[in-house]
Amino acid sequence: MSCGPVSPILSPALPIPGGPSVDPLHGSFRSSMNQERAAEASQRARELLTDEVLGRLLSAPRQPTVQVPRAREVFVNRNLRMDHVELIGFDMDYTLAIYHMRRLEQLSFDMTIAKLISEYGYPPFVGGLIYDHHFVMRGLAVDRVNGNVLKMDRFGHVGRAYHGLRPLKRDAWKALYRNKRVRLRNPQFAWNDTLFALPETCLFSGIIELMESLGHVVNYGKLYDDIREAIDTVHRDNSLKREIRKDLARYVFLDPELGPALHKLRSGGKRLFLLTNSAWDYTNAVMRYLLDGQLPEYPSWRNYFDFTVTAAAKPAFFTDSRPFLELDSTTEEGRVVGEAKSLERGTVYSGGNLVQFEEMTGYRGENILYVGDHIFGDILKSKKSSLWRTCMVVQEIEDEINYTDGRRTDIDTLSEVELTRARLDDEVNHRKTVLNSLERRLERGELPEAERLEAEELRKRTKAELEKLRKSLKATNGIADTLERDVEEGFNPYWGLLFKEGNENSRFGYQVEQYACLYTSRVSNFLHHSPMQYYRSPRDLMAHEQAGALSSKLSPLGSEGPAKGSDQ
């Protein structure tokens, strides 16, 4: 079958044959009725945008409000209309209760070392290890086979690696990780994504550094498992929490805005619930310290919450079918009364599961917002198991934002150098192409004398320019690398910024973006927003839209669709 002649050369000035044209292949038909409606809408848009009264209303400053520091903002990954949210739930540890990290990490570190020596047979000299809070941050992975601690970017590529307390040698790093993605489902790797897990990472590396320096052979997998089991025991047997309860003021920050923030949500018509893995005795002690007496309307912390669930065993709460057990809250240990048939205000429960919770409360799916700090137990599992909306508390974000704000001049300089580096690279490549073309023309020896002299002069000039550009590019590479290292190591000398790894988001930052509708540094940040707030996210732009394609202008805001990671 003949299709007729086809031009062998595409003109850069004309559209691709069969592509968009006067009569495009895609969406070419618009009825006269649709065109009339569009014309009418355009006219109404002009009237709306030029309405003087409306313009004055929109440009007039609002009543003076407290200026919210950038670090205390609520950040949005997925649009969320708070007027659609009827029930808001909170985790307790690291969510309502913000711990003094260095003090709690040191306590956990010391208690775990003591248990390793007394119950797991580790040599007493291990007790001399010193906790280095700089060596740990959320989002690190432990390689249980090779004894390394890793930080990855959003693609799972390893950007930084330490063996013991020293950077992994480059040849070892390349052999193990250069052409591989770390998949955290692989049991070789352990993902430390909670603040509770920070001491175990420091212990793992510290013991390897100490024992290998003394000539001992270390079984990395057994070491990690021993540390994990010991630190779990310290939490499970309540020995750690007993120490915290002895001096709550030492370990838990008292946020004077927490009560008012919860009150504002309740005043906006929201019902509140507490859903924590902590047992009743510890929950009651911490919550009394945080909220009792903050506001006269709430003589007890329990008055803030419509439902209180302890020992919830998240993430199993979101996937299993454990029943709700009613507790006698007048007793210290929270004696079990029996299996609950309903959830009542003023009663305390333990255990439970998501399906029964929705049935017993009458609230479901997107009408529920859950606020927690654990990317897996609170955010990811709730997102994959339900339609609950999610907010993640990342207390470290205040430190990172305040730090980068303080380095504004340095970061601006680095940004300018990075753009200059990209421009230099493009110019070097352009000059190389021009030089290659000139040399081919001169080698053929077919140019008239005048053109040859002109080409020789142009080649000489291009060579000089290329040499200058190459030297500048080399210098710029060194400057950019030094400045970037200085900025990153100023925040953490081992791992850099929490949310970044190289030029990409870190694995931790990526998971926050994927699974949390909102994220913020503390619950009390909601005090600075209306309970009816519409939290709007910027729309993701594809590369061609960032390059200027006008489809980027269709809507600058994101949607209320499923969370990015909900189907992964």
| Averaged pLDDT, 347-376 | 91
| Averaged pLDDT, 316-340 | 92
| 70-98+252-394 matches 407-497 in fold | no
**498 backbone dihedrals φ, ψ, rounded to 5°:** -65, -45
Place of tokens 């079918």: 321
d(CA 524, CA 487): 30
Long-range residue pairs from 94-97, CB within 8 A, at least 24 positions apart, any chain: 94/194, 94/195, 94/196, 94/373, 94/374, 94/393, 94/395, 95/371, 95/372, 95/373, 95/378, 95/393, 95/523, 96/258, 96/274, 96/287, 96/290, 96/523, 97/252, 97/286, 97/287, 97/290
Position 383 scores a pLDDT of: 59
The DSSP 8-state label assigned to residue 73 in this structure reads: P
Q: Which of 201-205, 227-231, 253-257, 384-388 has the lowest mean pLDDT?
A: 384-388
Beta-strand ranges (E) seen in 27-168 are: 75-76, 80-81, 87-90, 140-143, 148-152, 158-163, 166-167
| Averaged pLDDT, 174-196 | 85
Position 384 scores a pLDDT of: 65
* Angle (deg, nearest 10), helices 280-291 and 258-267: 90
236 vs 382 pLDDT, higher one: 236
- Sequential DSSP letters for 195-262: GGGHHHHHHHHHHHHHHHHTT----HHHHHHHHHHHHHHHHHTSHHHHHHHHTHHHHB---TTHHHHH
Position 568 scores a pLDDT of: 46
Predicted confidence (pLDDT) per residue in 70-104, tens digit:
999 999 999 999 999 999 999 999 999 999 999 99
Task: Report the residue count for the chain.
Answer: 568
Residue 513: HSE in the Cβ half-sphere, 13 Å Cα cutoff: 15
Helix (H, G, I), strand (E, B) or coil at 106: helix
Q: Which of 8-22, 145-159, 215-229, 243-257 has the lowest mean pLDDT?
A: 8-22
Predicted confidence (pLDDT) per residue in 460-470, tens digit:
999 999 999 99
Instruction: Report how far apart, in Å, the C-alpha atoms of 382 and of each of 308, 310, 493 are.
Output: 18, 17, 34
The pair of structure tokens assigned to 147 is: 């004894």
The full set of domain ranges for the chain reads 70-98+252-394, 101-248, 407-497
Predicted confidence (pLDDT) per residue in 404-458, tens digit:
999 999 999 999 999 999 999 999 999 999 999 888 888 887 888 888 888 889 8
CB neighbour list of residue 86: distance below 8 Å, 6 or more residues apart: 269, 270, 271, 363, 367, 368
Q: Quick one: what percent of the chain has pLDDT higher than 70? A: 91
Residues paired with residue 538 on neighbouring β-strands, in sequence order:
557
- Sequential DSSP letters for 392-449: EE-THHHHHHHHHHHTHHHHHHHHHHHHHHHHHHHHHHHHHHHHHHHHHHHHHT-S-H
**58 backbone dihedrals φ, ψ, rounded to 5°:** -75, -25
Provide, for the chain, the percentages of residues in helix, strand and coil under a 3-state DSSP scheme, each rounded to the nearest 5.
50, 15, 35
d(CA 330, CA 269): 29
Position 1 scores a pLDDT of: 46
58 vs 378 pLDDT, higher one: 58
Instruction: Report how far apart, in Å, the C-alpha atoms of 163 and of each of 150, 176, 222, 230, 528 are.
Output: 9, 12, 16, 22, 44
Beta-strand ranges (E) seen in 420-550 are: 500-501, 504-505, 518-520, 534-535
**241 backbone dihedrals φ, ψ, rounded to 5°:** -70, -30
| Averaged pLDDT, 136-154 | 94
Predicted confidence band of residue 2 (pLDDT cuts 50, 70, 90): very low
Residue 10 has pLDDT above 70, yes or no: no
Domain spanning 70-98+252-394, CATH class:
alpha beta
Helix (H, G, I), strand (E, B) or coil at 80: strand
Q: Which of 29-33, 167-171, 186-190 has the lowest mean pLDDT?
A: 29-33
Position 93 scores a pLDDT of: 94
Helix (H, G, I), strand (E, B) or coil at 282: helix
Are the C-beta atoms of residues 290 and 255 closer than 8 Å to each other?
Answer: yes
The mean pLDDT value of the chain amounts to: 88
d(CA 550, CA 512): 29
**What b/e readout covers 492-519, taking b as 16+ CB neighbours within 10 angstroms?**
bebbbbbbbbeeebbbbbbbbbbbbbbb
d(CA 53, CA 47): 11
Residue 27 has pLDDT above 70, yes or no: no
Residues paired with residue 167 on neighbouring β-strands, in sequence order:
162
Residue 38 has pLDDT above 90, yes or no: no
Position 312 scores a pLDDT of: 93
Residues paired with residue 501 on neighbouring β-strands, in sequence order:
504
Predicted confidence (pLDDT) per residue in 329-356, tens digit:
998 888 999 999 999 999 999 999 999 9
Rounded to 5°, angle at Cα 82 from 78 and 83: 135
CATH fold, domain 407-497, is Helix Hairpins (1.10.287)
d(CA 184, CA 140): 11
